[in-house]
A = this chain, B = another copy of it.
Amino acid sequence: MLSDHVDGLALVDHHVHGAVKGPLDRTGFEQLITESDRPVPPWMSTFDSQLGLAIRRYCAPLLGLPAHASADDYLAARAHADVNSLFLRAAGVSDYLVDTGYLGDAVTGVDELAKLSGSRAHEVVRLEAELEYVSTQESDVAAVPDALVRRLEERTGGAIGLKSIVAYRYGFDFDPAEPSSADVLTALDRWYSSGAGRVADPVLLRWLLWTGARRGLPLQLHVGFGDTELQLHRADPALLTEWLRLVEPLGTQVVLLHCYPFHRNAAYLAHVFPHVHLDLGLTTMYVGARAAAVLAEGLELAPFAKLLYSSDAWGPAELHFLGAALWRRAVSSVLDGFVAQGDWSADDAVRVATLWGRENAVRLYGLDQR
């Protein structure tokens, strides 16, 4: 049976972050189950969302509570459980690919995540964070380009991929061409003069993208919805088309992450460009009861060899588990539906679920050679 196979599949969570280290009160927990960075208004609760209901439905039983337990009961039980180990192990993930570039000190590192989960963990290096680090070490602007290359060489020695958040910092409507050295130096000068810090200059961001693409490792891009910082229409992956054409000869594989509500556009890009792949990670988790409906849309144009699984979890380990649990449920539901309506064979359904949840990532990231 398909759902038995999918439930037993050792997933590769190819884009994830650490789990939060300490306890969380209600305010702290509610703030971590929304993409908003604003305080939750007093007249609402973030539990009143698809993600909130999914936590009460799928996580509560792991804490010994009935499904749909109240938020208060849930948080009370959570406070007395070893939640990180519990949920990380329940996720059924063989390999976590960990983006360490977002508030890394607040959450478990790569090694700690491996230890808590009993899984393998590999690092994904965030490009913007590396340039920001270089700026704190190198006072001579002219030396930054070489310093960045050296830094990426060091950092990617053991890493498995790179990540860009240009969608957050600017948008995909940047000039797709590689910037000249002169343009980069001018932009670095401007950045240093304003005190460096957070990189948001489009010249620097696309220089980072090009520099990253030249490393050869798979390059992950945050696409579509996310936190309050972005402008959604500028995170449409279709805007990347010309840049994708320009980097195609480098041979680097590009991975579009999450993609909602542009997942059909992302699937189109994966359809026409051999080097483009996609997941619906963060999306699957946030849409909860609607995960099957959304995954099905991604399955319209995407070649089955291009689909990946991720949770994009950051913070409460419930999210590391829930990403996997909702993906398993949704994929089984969608593919079972295709079989039931007579369009797919049961064998194809098993095969495609396995590609999506595991085998495509093993191939793309060379996990069998680690």
Contact A305 B225 (CB under 8 A): no
- Is the CB–CB distance between A301 and B287 below 8 Å? yes
Question: In the complex, A338 Cα to B53 Cα: how many Å?
Answer: 11
Question: Is there contact, CB below 8 Å, between A228 and B57?
Answer: no
Answer whether residue A293 sits at the interface, using C-beta atoms and an 8 A cutoff.
yes
At the interface, yes or no: A239 with Cβ under 8 Å from chain B?
A: yes
User: For the complex, what is the distance from the CA of A302 to the CA of B302, rounded to whole Å?
Assistant: 26
Cβ contacts A125-157/B at 8 Å (1 or 0 each): 000000000000000000000000000000000
* A261 located at the interface, meaning its Cβ lies under 8 Å from any Cβ of chain B in the complex: yes
Q: How many residues of A contact B (CB 8 A)?
A: 70
CA–CA, A36 and B294, complex, Å: 24
Tell me whether A49 and B304 are in contact (CB under 8 A).
Answer: yes
A191 CB–B CB distance under 8 Å: no
Q: Does A80 contact B (CB under 8 A)?
A: no
| Given contact pairs A48-B304, A232-B238, a sample of 8 additional A-B residue pairs in the complex whose CB atoms are under 8 Å apart | A34-B272, A44-B306, A53-B348, A225-B271, A227-B272, A231-B242, A289-B343, A294-B300
Residues of B near A242 (CB, < 8 A) are 231
Asked whether any CB of chain B lies closer than 8 Å to the CB of A363, the reply is yes
A227: chain B residues within 8 A (beta carbon): 272
| Residue A41 is within 8 A (CB to CB) of chain B in the complex | yes
Contact of A287 among B43, B241, B300 (CB under 8 A): B300
**B44 close to A289 (CB less than 8 A):** no
If A36-B274, A38-B272, A343-B54 touch, does A48 touch B233 (CB 8 Å cutoff)?
A: no
Instruction: Decide if A348 touches B68 in the complex (CB within 8 Å).
Output: yes
Knowing A289-B344, A352-B48 are in contact, say whether A271-B305 is a contact too (CB < 8 A). Answer: no
What is the bound-complex CA distance between A45 and B304, given in angstroms?
A: 9
Number of copies of this chain that the complex holds: 3
- Ranked nearest first, the 4 interchain pairs of A and B with the lowest CB-CB distance are A44-B305, A289-B343, A68-B345, A261-B264
What B residues does A50 contact at CB under 8 A?
A: 299-301
| Interface set of A (CB-CB < 8 Å, partner B) | 34-41, 43-46, 48-50, 53-54, 57, 67-68, 225, 227-228, 231-233, 236, 238-239, 241-242, 260-261, 264-265, 268-269, 271-274, 286-290, 293-294, 296-297, 299-306, 333, 338, 341-345, 347-348, 352, 355, 363
State the CA gap A343–B45 with chains docked (Å). Answer: 19
How far is it, in angstroms, between the C-alpha of A36 and the C-alpha of B61 when the chains are bound? 46
Report yes or no: B271 in contact with A260, Cβ–Cβ below 8 A.
Answer: no
**Which residue in chain B gives the minimum CB-CB distance to A363?**
B43
Contact sample, A vs B, 24 pairs, CB 8 Å cutoff: A36-B272, A39-B274, A40-B274, A44-B305, A46-B303, A48-B352, A48-B355, A49-B271, A49-B302, A50-B301, A53-B344, A53-B348, A54-B343, A57-B343, A57-B344, A68-B344, A225-B271, A228-B272, A232-B268, A232-B269, A261-B264, A289-B343, A293-B296, A293-B297
